[in-house]
């Protein structure tokens, strides 16, 4: 972050009298600190800062008892080559200290005063960042008209502040979200997660970074794709903590996965895939984007590293740099810094990152520009002139952009619907080997699960349980794992599991399920209630959400124990399948249904006789296939498989699906 100094907690009793800043604060003017005629003499005497037409600036401070007042070095000097030594004020007989500098380049600058060794913001300036560490004031040197970061007469988006509870930090946190002008939930939008630097809060990207006005102006100029910008608080541990570096990345990754992304996806119409997400940040936020983003390719495919890097990149980023498929996984990677910044240590970190990416032939854009250093002048410049215009640019040029700004579903995100009863729910306790999963395999939560940190309708790494909050390991687990092992690395697999232990296939009959539920025992009604009393409806609801992210490739069924000896079972299954095809506008030729046998007779299955009926399903439903359960080990009751049995059954589902769809590498 830009150089700031610790605030001394001293009572500034020598600052007396009125300090009325000249900013009228009537409009969002591009020149709020311009010299204005007609001010009353008393107010004019302490106007600070006062920007003159020749771009010189006068600062004033009424402090009759002060001994020394200086303007410390900072962004103003870096940008305007004024040297590094603090500039002294001159004290007048009226006790008002005055300093005039410049002319300065039109821009926005952060500054503060130092009064007898105490750092303070300018008390005469109403443009101040009191949320920063430490507080500072803002100088706005205007040009001939509104700048690219000013509020212009164009359509404006909306900035909303969200306050939410975090189980990661055990407290209430905030998140700012920008939606573009004309935003409508009927369309899908990509999301940029934009992070601040050390000591910055989300509001700083709005008030200092002007991200919302920059985006408004780019959209009005036709230079960028409409997008949602989410600005979370990435201050996750006090920056003075002795283990700040070691702890911050893991903790903030949990915050992103467990709270920030689910909140945004639930509240807004978003593209819930890596191609539809970007992460970017300045300074510490750039390091968050790098160290968290590069290891979270299941979440992000676009990156903006602003004024950040690592002089030890070869070691710290080894996994990312040495991934042979990284160029397939990353759509856009931007690394940028300011012209003055590039001359110092901060710039060295950025340069080393660029050199490491070049060495490993990782496609990226490296840019040094603007007239700023490690400050907001640089970060606004990078946002407007390079990063935002190029973000999702290739996707837009490729014609994958829907009218109104949404991206098309990712054809490399394959989605499978999983339905049935207790064996599809999962009845075996997950073991240690089941606790880790390839991030390319994801599950959409079909119910809210506070204990798992999952929200209905959002995607999560497919760590069991995949059905509801307290179910167990099932066949869908190793179906998905086997699929991603045998598919190209650019392909992701998602499952939606809606299953109810003990239910008949009639529960999924969308026209007659109510009468079935009414006659069911109370424990089954309790489970059905988790799906708002309509499991089929919930499955369709989730599937339609998923279709905005990817492509439904198939349906997995494991059900039959409760319909044992039901000769009409195959017709009932076909009815469910036909309704899904119709309600989701699918082509039946492209969406096979795979039905698994119940516990086999070789395992003493008490319902094994049902397998004879299941075997006849392809005669009724042409695009269906039966998965053998022979040798899939039983659990404890001759009705459910054990963990090893589910793993084997899941692999068999996957092998058949890969064969039918001709998807193997």
Residue 12 is predicted with a pLDDT of 34
DSSP 250: H
**Domains 158-397 and 413-661 are alike in CATH topology:** yes
The model's confidence at residue 664, banded by pLDDT at 50, 70 and 90, is low
pLDDT at 477 exceeding the cut of 70: yes
Count CB neighbours of 166 within 10 A: 17
Specify the 3-state DSSP secondary structure of 136. strand
- Cα 234 → chain centroid: 12
Task: For residue 585, say if its preceding peptide bond is cis, omega within 30 degrees of 0.
Answer: no
Q: Which of 367, 412, 399 is nearest to 385 (CA)?
A: 367
The model's confidence at residue 394, banded by pLDDT at 50, 70 and 90, is low
The domain spans of the chain are 158-397, 413-661
Q: Which of 549, 214, 490 is nearest to 325 (CA)?
A: 490
Burial class (CB in 10 A: 0-12, 13-18, 19+), 421: buried
According to the 3-state scheme, what is the secondary structure of 334-394? EEEEECCHHHCHHHHHHHHHHHHHHHCCCCCEEEEECCCCCCHHHHHHHHHHHHHHHCCHH
- Enter the tokens of residue 202: 């989300």
pLDDT digits (tens, 9 = 90+) for 490-522: 889 999 999 999 999 999 999 999 999 999 999
334-362: average pLDDT: 91
Residue 407 is predicted with a pLDDT of 56
523-543: average pLDDT: 95
Residue 24 is predicted with a pLDDT of 53
Residue 26 is predicted with a pLDDT of 59
420 Ramachandran zone, left/alpha/beta (phi>0; psi -120 to 50): left
What CATH number has the domain spanning 413-661? 3.40.50.1110
pLDDT at 351 exceeding the cut of 70: yes
- Enter the tokens of residue 297: 């390719």
Q: Provide the edge-to-edge strand list for the sheet that holds 57-62.
A: 50-51, 57-62, 96-101, 90-91
What CATH number has the domain spanning 158-397? 3.40.50.1820
pLDDT at 417 exceeding the cut of 60: yes
Residue 109 is predicted with a pLDDT of 87
Interior/surface letters 595-620, b for 16+ CB within 10 angstroms, e for the rest: bbbbbbeebebebbebbebbeebeee
428-451: average pLDDT: 90
Specify the 3-state DSSP secondary structure of 505. helix
pLDDT digits (tens, 9 = 90+) for 287-330: 999 999 999 999 999 999 999 999 999 999 999 999 999 999 99
pLDDT digits (tens, 9 = 90+) for 628-646: 999 999 988 999 999 999 9
pLDDT at 3 exceeding the cut of 70: no
pLDDT at 84 exceeding the cut of 90: no
Dist CA 644 CA 314 (whole Å): 40
- Enter the tokens of residue 98: 């005055």
pLDDT digits (tens, 9 = 90+) for 579-595: 999 999 999 999 999 99
The model's confidence at residue 11, banded by pLDDT at 50, 70 and 90, is very low
Predicted model pTM: 0.63
Residue 35 is predicted with a pLDDT of 59
More confident residue, 396 or 134: 134
pLDDT at 173 exceeding the cut of 60: yes
pLDDT digits (tens, 9 = 90+) for 215-256: 999 998 888 999 999 999 998 887 677 776 668 899 999 999
């Amino acid at each position: 972050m830009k150089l700031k100094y610790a605030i001394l907690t001293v009572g500034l009793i020598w600052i007396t009298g009125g300090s009325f800043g000249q900013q009228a604060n009537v409009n969002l003017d591009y020149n709020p600190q311009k010299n204005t005629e007609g001010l009353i003499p008393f107010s004019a005497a302490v106007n600070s800062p006062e920007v003159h037409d020749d771009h010189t600036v006068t600062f004033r401070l009424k402090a009759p008892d002060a001994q020394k007042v200086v303007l410390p070095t900072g962004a103003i000097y870096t940008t305007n080559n004024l040297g590094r030594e603090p500039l002294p004020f001159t004290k007048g007989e009226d006790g008002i200290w005055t300093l005039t500098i410049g002319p300065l380049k039109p821009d926005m600058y952060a500054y503060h005063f130092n009064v007898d060794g105490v750092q303070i913001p300018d008390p005469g300036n109403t443009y101040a960042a009191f949320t920063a560490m430490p507080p500072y004031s803002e100088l706005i040197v205007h040009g001939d008209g509104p700048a690219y970061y000013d509020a212009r007469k164009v359509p404006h988006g909306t900035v909303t502040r969200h306050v939410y509870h975090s189980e990661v930090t055990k407290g209430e946190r905030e998140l700012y979200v920008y939606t573009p002008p004309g935003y409508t939930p009927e369309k899908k939008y990509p999301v940029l997660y934009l992070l601040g630097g050390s000591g910055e809060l989300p509001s700083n990207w709005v008030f200092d970074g002007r991200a919302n006005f920059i985006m408004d102006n780019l959209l009005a100029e036709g230079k960028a794709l409409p997008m949602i910008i989410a600005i979370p608080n990435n201050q996750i541990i006090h920056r003075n903590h002795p283990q700040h570096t070691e702890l911050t990345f893991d903790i903030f990754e949990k915050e992103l996965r467990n709270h920030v992304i689910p909140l945004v996806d639930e509240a807004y119409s978003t593209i819930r895939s890596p191609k539809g997400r970007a992460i970017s940040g300045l300074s510490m936020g750039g390091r968050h984007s790098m160290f968290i983003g590069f290891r979270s390719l299941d979440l992000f495919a676009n990156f903006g590293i602003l004024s950040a890097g690592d002089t030890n990149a070869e070691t710290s980023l080894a996994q990312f740099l040495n991934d042979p498929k990284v160029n397939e996984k990353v759509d856009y990677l931007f690394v940028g810094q300011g012209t003055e910044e590039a001359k110092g240590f901060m710039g060295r970190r950025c340069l080393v990152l660029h050199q490491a990416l070049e060495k490993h032939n990782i496609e990226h854009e490296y840019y040094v520009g603007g007239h700023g250093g490690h400050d907001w002048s640089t970060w606004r410049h990078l946002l407007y002139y390079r990063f935002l215009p190029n973000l999702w640019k290739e996707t837009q040029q490729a014609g994958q952009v829907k009218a109104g700004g949404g991206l098309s579903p990712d054809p490399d995100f394959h989605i499978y619907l999983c339905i049935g009863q207790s064996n599809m729910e999962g009845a075996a306790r997950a073991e240690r080997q089941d606790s880790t999963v390839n991030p390319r395999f994801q599950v959409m939560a079909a119910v809210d699960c506070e204990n798992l940190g999952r929200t209905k309708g959002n995607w999560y790494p497919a760590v069991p349980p995949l059905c509801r909050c307290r179910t167990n390991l099932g066949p869908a687990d190793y179906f998905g794992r086997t699929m991603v092992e045998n598919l190209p690395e650019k392909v992701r697999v998602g499952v939606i599991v809606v299953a109810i232990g003990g239910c008949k296939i009639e529960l999924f009959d969308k026209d007659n399920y109510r009468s079935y539920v009414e006659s069911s025992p109370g424990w089954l009604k309790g489970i059905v209630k988790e799906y708002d009393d309509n499991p089929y409806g919930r499955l369709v609801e989730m599937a339609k959400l998923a279709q905005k992210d990817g492509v439904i490739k198939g349906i997995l069924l494991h059900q039959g124990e409760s319909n044992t000896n039901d000769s009409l079972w195959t017709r009932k299954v076909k009815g469910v399948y036909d309704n899904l095809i119709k309600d989701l506008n699918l082509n039946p030729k492209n969406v096979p249904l795979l039905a698994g046998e119940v516990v086999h007779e070789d395992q003493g299955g008490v319902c094994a006789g049902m397998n004879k009926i299941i075997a006849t399903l392809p005669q009724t439903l042409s695009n269906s296939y039966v998965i053998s359960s022979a040798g899939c080990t039983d659990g404890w009751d001759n009705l459910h498989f054990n963990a090893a049995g589910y793993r084997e059954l899941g692999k068999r589902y996957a092998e058949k699906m890969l064969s039918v769809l001709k998807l193997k590498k």
